[in-house]
C-alpha cells in the first residue's frame, strides 16, 4: 500500500516568533479523516509531477532524470520554460495514463529556502485585473513577488496549454507545484487556466506545502471560481507565511498530515483551520516537515517526490 512518508534530508531551525506570528487559525470546525485510498487516487500523481519539476528541462524531455522520470511512465514532456533569473521553471506534459495535460512549477530548492523565508517580501498588491478580469472590483490583493514571478511565464504557459489540448484532444488540465515558489505560482496558473479555458475543460489544482498567496478576497475567489487542494505536513512553517496578521489567508482545500507515521491525514474545512497547519505552536515549527509532505512509499521502497537529486 502506498502512503506519504517523511524524508529527513534537511536539519534546520527557524525563528518561531517570526514564522508563527499571527497563525492562530481562522476556522475551528472539526477535521475529517482522509483515507489512504483517496490519497493515492488524488494526490499521488500530482506529487510525482511536482517532484519532476525540480529536474532540468533537458533531462525531462530525454527521460534521463532518474527516479522522477521513472515514476512517470506514459508521460510525454511537451514544453519546458522559465528558470531564468526571477522566473519560475515549469513544464507542460501529456499524461497518457490519466489522459490529462499537466503544468508543474519548480519549487524553492532546499539549500535556498531558509534564506528565502527570511528575506521574503510580505507585501500585498492589487491583483492584475487585465489577466484576471473576473476579479475586478472585489478588493483582491495578492503577494506582490509571487504575482511578478507568475507574470513572466503566464503567456507561454497559456499558449502551451492551448496547443497541448488541441493536439491531444484531452479535456483535463492538472496544475501542481511544491514550496514557496512552485505551489504559489501553480495556484495563480491554475486560476488563470480555469478562467481562460473553455468551460468544457476541467482544471484541477493540487499543490504541496504552499505559502499564503493573497488576502481573504483572493481566497474566497479561489474557493468559488477555481477550487483546489493543498497538502501540509505536521509542523512545516512554510504554509504559515506570510502570517495571518499581515492580511494573508489560505483558501479552502487543505489536507493535513497529522503525524510522522504519514498515515493519518485529515481534511480541514474553511480558511486556516486551527486544527491543521495554521494552529501550529510557534515554538514547534520544523523545516524538516517541509520536505516530508512530498514522498510516497510502498511496502518495499520510499520514493522522493520533491527533489531531483538522490538523497544518498
- Predicted structure pTM score: 0.86
Strands 202-208 and 172-178 come out as parallel
pLDDT at residue number 136: 96
DSSP class of residue 29 equals P
Reported in sequence order, the residue ranges of 69-169 that DSSP labels E, i.e. its strands, are: 75-81, 90-95, 100-105, 124-126, 141-143
Q: Which three cell numbers stand for residue 94?
A: 501529456
> Which whole-number Å values give the CA distances from 69 to 53, 66, 91, 170, 294, in the listed order?
10, 6, 13, 22, 16
Pairing of strands 202-208, 229-233: parallel
Segment 172-222, tens digit of pLDDT: 999 999 998 899 999 999 999 999 999 999 999 999 999 999 999 999 999
Spell out where the chain has E strands: 3-4, 32-34, 75-81, 90-95, 100-105, 124-126, 141-143, 172-178, 202-208, 229-233, 254-257, 265-268, 296-297, 302-303
User: Mind giving me the DSSP string for 188-226?
Assistant: HHHHHHHHHS-TTSEEEEEEESPPP-B-HHHHHHIIIII
Q: What is the pLDDT of residue 288?
A: 80
pLDDT value at position 287? 79
19 HSE (CA, 13 A, CB side): 26
User: Could you please report the per-residue DSSP string of 152-164?
Assistant: HHHHHHHHHHHHH
DSSP letter string over 136-155? TTS--EEEHHHHHHHHHHHH
pLDDT tens, N- to C-terminus, the chain (312 residues): 333 332 222 233 333 334 444 445 688 999 999 998 899 899 999 999 999 999 999 999 999 998 888 889 999 999 999 987 667 899 999 999 999 999 999 988 766 766 566 556 779 999 999 999 999 999 999 999 999 999 999 999 999 999 999 999 999 999 999 998 899 999 999 999 999 999 999 999 999 999 999 999 999 999 999 999 999 999 999 999 999 999 999 999 999 999 887 788 999 999 999 999 999 877 778 878 887 644 433 322 223 333 333 322
Amino acid at each position: 500500500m502506498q502512503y506519504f512518508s517523511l524524508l529527513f534530508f534537511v536539519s534546520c531551525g527557524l525563528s518561531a516568533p517570526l514564522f508563527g506570528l499571527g497563525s492562530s487559525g481562522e476556522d475551528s470546525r472539526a477535521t475529517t479523516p482522509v483515507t489512504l485510498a483517496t490519497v493515492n487516487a488524488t494526490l499521488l500523481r500530482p506529487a510525482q509531477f511536482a517532484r519532476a519539476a525540480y529536474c532540468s528541462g533537458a533531462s525531462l524531455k530525454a527521460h534521463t532524470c532518474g527516479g522522477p522520470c521513472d515514476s512517470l511512465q506514459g508521460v510525454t514532456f511537451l514544453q519546458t520554460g522559465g528558470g531564468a533569473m526571477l522566473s519560475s521553471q515549469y513544464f507542460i506534459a501529456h499524461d497518457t495514463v490519466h489522459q490529462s495535460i499537466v503544468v508543474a512549477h519548480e519549487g524553492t530548492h532546499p539549500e535556498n529556502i531558509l534564506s528565502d523565508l527570511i528575506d521574503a517580501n510580505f507585501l500585498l498588491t492589487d491583483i492584475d485585473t487585465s489577466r484576471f478580469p473576473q476579479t475586478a472590483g472585489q478588493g483582491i490583493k495578492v503577494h506582490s513577488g509571487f504575482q511578478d514571478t507568475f507574470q513572466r511565464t503566464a503567456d507561454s504557459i497559456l499558449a502551451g496549454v492551448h496547443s497541448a489540448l488541441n493536439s491531444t484532444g484531452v479535456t483535463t488540465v492538472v496544475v501542481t507545484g511544491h514550496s514557496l515558489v512552485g505551489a504559489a505560482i501553480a495556484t495563480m496558473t491554475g486560476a488563470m487556466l480555469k478562467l481562460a479555458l473553455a468551460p468544457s475543460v476541467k482544471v484541477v489544482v493540487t499543490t504541496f506545502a504552499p505559502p499564503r498567496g493573497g488576502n481573504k478576497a483572493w481566497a474566497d475567489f479561489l474557493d468559488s471560481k477555481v477550487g483546489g487542494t493543498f497538502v501540509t505536513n505536521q509542523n512545516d512553517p512554510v504554509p504559515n507565511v506570510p502570517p495571518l496578521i499581515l492580511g494573508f489567508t489560505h483558501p479552502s482545500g487543505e489536507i493535513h498530515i497529522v503525524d510522522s507515521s504519514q498515515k493519518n491525514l485529515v481534511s480541514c474545512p474553511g480558511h486556516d483551520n486551527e486544527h491543521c497547519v495554521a494552529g501550529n505552536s510557534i515554538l514547534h515549527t520544523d523545516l524538516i516537515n517541509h520536505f516530508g509532505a512530498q514522498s510516497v512509499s510502498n511496502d518495499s521502497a520510499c520514493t522522493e517526490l520533491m527533489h531531483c537529486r538522490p538523497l544518498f
